A = this chain, B = another copy of it.
Amino acid sequence: MTLPIPADPATLRIVVEKIARQVEDAMRGDLTRALHGNDPLLAEVLKYALFGGGKRLRPLLVVLSSRLCGRHDADLYLLASAFEYLHVATLIHDDVIDHADQRRGRPSVGTKYGMAAAILAGDWLHARSMHLIGRLTGTEGLEIFCGATAAMVDGEFLQLRHVADISINEDRYFEVIQRKTGRLIASTCEIGALYAGADRSRQKALGHYGSKIGAAFQVVDDLLDYQGDQEATGKKVGNDFIEGKLTLPLLHALLKASPAERELLADLITGDRTQPGAYARLYRSVEKLGGFLSARSTAENLVEEAVTELDIFSGCTDQESHGLLVGLARFILERNR
């Protein structure tokens, strides 16, 4: 078996940026066509929402997955745009739901243009994304995509149900993040493969890869919520705790806690979480119980499992795309924003 050469970080960055630019060009072109004759404010709101930074992770996965399966053409970037549309629609609606006034260091869409414009712009992006997926990958792609979208909504409901619920276990945690993040990221890879006409086993392998890096991505997100540098992430630490979201570091800490330590943690979680010092006390406990190290090791395992899913592509002609997907999976562990 020929092992792929994982892309080094510098090469990865160059490729990632090049693809991001091509996806942005595709989005601009698509908006111009789709919005012809429409209200100019709608166009302004959509451009503000879509071109405010963003890692373009989902489009990147679509492009690399399709390339790995042998198809690389102009419409691929339009297909990739659909995933960014859906992702941004979700962020816009989430910010309305959370009354978040900032996103990526700028006023959120709702703050800048009002709630009506935010909800409507999200709906527009939602519809446009499905339109593109249907047009470019037919009903098979649409079925995967809509399933992932419905799962995201379901994951949000599941999460609301478990606010400050200390009986939640690791399985349930992974169920929530699979629905909220994993399935959509899996669908980017699977639909990329479908677009390229890959056989079912290759589609599935890429889907599993996506599902696992999606989970790793979320675990790293949860770690950044505790340990991130506000300058880099643009977010304050401790949000998840304050909102009553029990994420992996805390769940791992609870598993290792003595009855007395568990009681202390439970008091902090079910008490007034905004009280001065509550977050600092929780942080120290989680650290002492090894929750951060243990969650990190889970993320590392997920990434290695993701990489193994791609073995089916060993020896395929496009070793570069294979190496980029391996490098990208590993890079998730390094990200700081």
Contact = CB atoms under 8 A, between A and B. Distances in A.
Nearest to A39: B157
A135 B138 CA distance: 9
A119 B120 contact: no
Nearest to A137: B139
Nearest to A152: B123
Contacts of A121: 153
A41 B160 contact: yes
A123 B130 CA distance: 12
A2 interface: no
Given A119-B97, A119-B119, A130-B134, A42 B149 contact: no
Interface string A115-153: 111011111101110110011001100110011011001
Name the residue among A96, A122, A157 with the largest chain B CB count within 10 angstroms.
Answer: A157
A154 interface: yes
Given A116-B97, A134-B134, A158 B39 contact: yes
Interface in A244-299: none
Interface residues of A, number: 40
A143 B131 CA distance: 6
A135 to B, nearest CB: 5
A127 to B, nearest CB: 4
A142 B156 contact: no
Contacts of A153: 42, 120-121, 123-124, 127
Number of copies: 2
B134 A142 contact: yes
Nearest to A92: B119
Nearest to A155: B39
B134 A41 contact: no
Contacts of A126: 123, 126-127
Interface in A31-48: 34, 38-39, 41-42
A93 B117 contact: no
Contact of A135 (B117, B142, B150): B142
13 contacts: A38-B154, A41-B160, A41-B161, A42-B153, A93-B119, A96-B115, A120-B153, A123-B126, A127-B130, A127-B146, A134-B134, A134-B143, A135-B142
